[in-house]
């Protein structure tokens, strides 16, 4: 009886261990910059474009022993904004921010946002979408559009770095 239980537990352990080897999880990190100009209106939304973000996803997939056709899901794990210039500025000027993602083949969707910002820090983490972003990240590049509302006068341009971290679930080659 004890032998049967031990064999059954061993088979269950091997089965679950084997299943883990059928897939891989890893992160893809991208960065882009945008600028809030000093002439920005207060309490009105305004938009800023960013240069296309090159994904280098094919290389990342290869580095992790997978390929685009084996991707099961890509979710946004984190989108962090950091002020890079002026170095003394904080996010106290910002009321809300919405960042949208699109490609030439995919419609624009909300990627991340944050409202009622009351931070006096130089970095903030946005609330991320729960949508599968596979078709956006598998593309050679994607576009970001940022919409912000300020709550105080911006007297000089503010440069912001967006650190974007995607969590990838994929099958192995």
DSSP-derived secondary structure for 25-37: EEEEEEEEEEEE-
Q: Return the CATH number at 29.
A: 2.60.120
Assigned domain for 5 exists: no
* Residue 49 confidence (pLDDT): 77
Residue 160 contacts residue 34 (beta carbons within 8 Å): yes
* Residue 31 confidence (pLDDT): 95
Assigned domain for 122 exists: yes
Assigned domain for 7 exists: no
Nearest to 130 by CA among 113, 150, 153: 113
Domain that holds residue 63: 24-171
Assigned domain for 127 exists: yes
Assigned domain for 102 exists: yes
- The strand ranges marked E within the chain are 23-36, 46-49, 53-54, 71-85, 94-102, 109-114, 123-125, 127-128, 141-150, 158-171
Assigned domain for 108 exists: yes
Number of domains in the chain: 1
Q: What are the pLDDT tens digits along the chain (173 aa)?
A: 655 565 555 555 555 554 445 799 999 999 999 999 887 788 888 888 788 899 889 999 999 999 999 999 999 999 999 999 999 999 999 999 999 999 999 999 999 999 999 999 999 999 999 999 999 999 999 999 999 999 998 999 999 999 999 999 999 99
Assigned domain for 166 exists: yes
Assigned domain for 101 exists: yes
User: How far is residue 145's CA from residue 129's CA, in Å, rounded to a whole number?
Assistant: 15
* Residue 19 confidence (pLDDT): 47
């Amino acid at each position: 009886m004890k032998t049967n239980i031990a064999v059954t537990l061993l088979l269950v352990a091997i089965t679950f261990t084997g299943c883990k080897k059928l897939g891989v999880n890893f992160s893809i990190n991208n960065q882009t910059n945008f600028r809030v100009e000093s002439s920005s209106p207060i309490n009105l939304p305004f938009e800023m474009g960013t240069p296309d973000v090159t994904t280098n996803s094919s290389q990342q997939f290869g580095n992790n022993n997978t390929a685009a056709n084996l991707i099961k899901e890509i979710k946004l794990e984190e989108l962090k904004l950091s002020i890079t210039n002026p170095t003394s500025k904080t996010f106290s000027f910002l009321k809300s921010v919405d960042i949208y993602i699109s490609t030439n083949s995919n419609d624009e969707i909300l990627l991340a946002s944050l409202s009622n910002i009351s931070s006096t820090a130089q970095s903030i983490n946005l609330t991320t979408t729960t949508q599968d972003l596979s078709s956006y990240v598998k593309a050679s590049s994607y576009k970001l559009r940022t919409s912000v509302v300020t709550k105080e006068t911006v007297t000089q341009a503010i440069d912001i770095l967006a650190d974007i971290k995607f969590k990838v679930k994929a099958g192995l080659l």
